[in-house]
Amino acid sequence: MMPPAPETNKIAEVTGQGDGTYEYGIDMAGHRILSLQIENTAGSAGTNTYTLWAANQDDGAVCAGVLTLTGLPLDTETVIIGGKVYTFQTVLTNVDGNVLIGADVDESIANLVAAITRGAGAGTKYAATMTGHPTVTTAKGAGDTMNAIARAPGPRGDSIATTETLTNGSWGATTLVDPCTYADVTNEWLGAASFTASAHKTTAKQVVAKWVKARVVRSVDGANLDGAWTIRVRRVW
């Protein structure tokens, strides 16, 4: 039986608009052969480039980050993971995100881990109204550290931002870190400098991979900043 046409086998689709560089991590969902297509979906002529990376590491690899405390958090200081704000308090109030400052650093980290995972201590170590984090779980790390781990495997987790307002602490990076090593599969111009609305191009290169990262760089004149584009990753067979 002939393999189905690529156009009918979309694995993922992402869209964007305007000038800048955009990067996406995509789970191949068990499909090992891929192609990438980019299309100008609206707006006037501009220039698009794309890069496609592939990874063949373990399906179980997850993005992770490390928070280190060098002293007690101060009242109202925050730890922010993927947009969800956790606020340390000397006197706990029952508002989603609030975490009690412990008697020492170790207890403060334990309280934060309990808050993120909604472990033991609701109403005493963290707010009883705490909601779960949708994309990250955590665990106590070595020494005075906390490990934040993406719930979903693969490169998508490296878009989860990790920031803080701590006087006595910091994250190892501004996002969770992707442990996979990627091979640069293709890095090509999409044809003419003027890549007009509704035109599209599909890479001729294909690769066996478990995970893929796709990047688009859109660079256009000021009058064309509203142009929109779509990236599609497809199974070839």
Local structure of 142: helix, strand or coil = coil
Across 82-94, average pLDDT:
97
223, pLDDT greater than 70 = no
pLDDT for 15-57, tens place per residue? 666 666 666 677 666 665 566 666 655 554 555 566 666 666 6
Identify the burial level of 180 via C-beta atoms within 10 angstroms of its C-beta, where 0-12 means exposed, 13-18 middle and 19 or more buried.
Answer: buried
* CA dihedral over 228, 233, 236, 237, signed as positive or negative: negative
Kindly list the domain boundaries of the chain, sorted by start residue. 6-57+180-235, 64-171
Mean pLDDT (the chain, rounded): 76
Q: Which CATH class is domain 6-57+180-235?
A: mainly beta
3-state secondary structure of 136: strand
Using DSSP bridges, classify how beta strands 98-100 and 207-208 pair: parallel, antiparallel or unpaired.
unpaired
Dihedral pair phi/psi, residue 214, rounded to 5° = -120, 135
